[in-house]
């Protein structure tokens, strides 16, 4: 399995508070992604990164920001959490080399509940 | 929106082949077919991908029709641990930000 960890694995917070989720990889992959998964919607891309300090928006980026200061870490921040951001968040990584070119490998997920 | 259509659920007997269909009638020439699966509450897991030829790896086989408008994922000897939601995804290989997961097929392998 790809070396991807997410922290925290579970979090309960209150509306209006800031929340930061961390994704850490040991694979030295160039690309990193944040998805959210909600019933009836499958996984949807929030933001992704194509290198250190290089990020771009995905399908559902409103209310989220990201940062990548090191290859191995990709942070997802909810500046002021809302109940609509209650979801399971998955991080993924991929690389543009080798036999598994661009295949995405997912972390274990973070379950976030905003009360 | 996902570019694929899959049945919402399927059952399969343990030890038998599981054949999961996927329709992707609007697939374009540079788009690949990918399959992922998600076992309950875990992150999705890559299974296999293909462009136009049939593909096989240690997990599964992928059969793509000649017109590329549909495909079938085959798990040759399903086990109880193959119970999961299976996602068929169509995207260009260089397109990192276009993984559109639909609802998938929930496969239940029964003893």
**pLDDT confidence of B98, banded at 50, 70, 90?**
confident
Q: Which residue has the higher pLDDT, B97 or B72?
A: B72
Residue A110: both structure tokens together: 């973070």
Q: pLDDT tens for residues B30-50? A: 899 999 999 988 999 999 999
- pLDDT tens digits for range A55-95: 999 989 999 999 999 999 999 999 999 999 999 999 999 98
Percent of chain B with pLDDT strictly greater than 70: 98
| Sign of the dihedral through C-alpha A54, B90, A59, A20 | negative
Do A105 and B46 make contact, defined as CB atoms within 8 angstroms? yes
Q: How far is B39 from chain A (nearest CA, A)?
A: 11
Q: How far apart are CA B105 and CA B83, in angstroms?
A: 10
From chain B, the residues in CB contact with A100 under 8 A are: 46
CA distance B54 to B61: 7
Chain A residues with beta carbon closer than 8 angstroms to that of B34: 103
pLDDT digits (tens, 9 = 90+) for A21-55: 999 999 999 999 999 999 877 899 999 999 999 99
The token pair at A98 is 């080798």
Split at pLDDT 50, 70, 90, the class of B88 is very high
């Amino acid at each position: 399995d790809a070396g991807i960890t997410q922290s925290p694995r579970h979090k309960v917070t209150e509306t209006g508070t800031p929340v930061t989720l961390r994704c850490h990889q040991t694979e030295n992959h160039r690309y990193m992604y944040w998805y959210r998964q909600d019933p009836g919607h499958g996984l949807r891309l929030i933001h992704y990164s194509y290198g250190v300090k290089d990020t771009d928006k995905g399908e559902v980026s409103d209310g989220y920001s990201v940062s990548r200061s090191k290859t191995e870490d990709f942070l997802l921040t909810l500046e002021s959490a809302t109940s609509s951001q209650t979801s399971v968040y998955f991080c993924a990584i991929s690389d543009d080399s080798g036999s598994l070119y661009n295949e995405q490998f997912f972390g274990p997920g973070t379950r976030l509940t905003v009360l | 929106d996902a570019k694929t259509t899959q049945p919402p659920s399927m059952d399969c007997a343990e030890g038998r082949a599981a054949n999961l269909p996927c329709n992707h009638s609007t697939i374009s020439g540079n788009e690949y077919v990918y399959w992922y699966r998600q076992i309950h509450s875990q992150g999705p897991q890559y299974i296999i991908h293909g462009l136009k030829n049939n593909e096989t790896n240690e997990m599964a086989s992928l059969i793509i029709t000649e017109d590329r408008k549909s495909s079938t994922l085959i798990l040759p000897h399903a086990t109880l641990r193959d119970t999961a939601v299976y996602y068929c995804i169509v995207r260009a290989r260089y397109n990192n930000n276009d993984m559109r997961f639909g609802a998938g097929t929930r496969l239940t392998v029964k003893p």
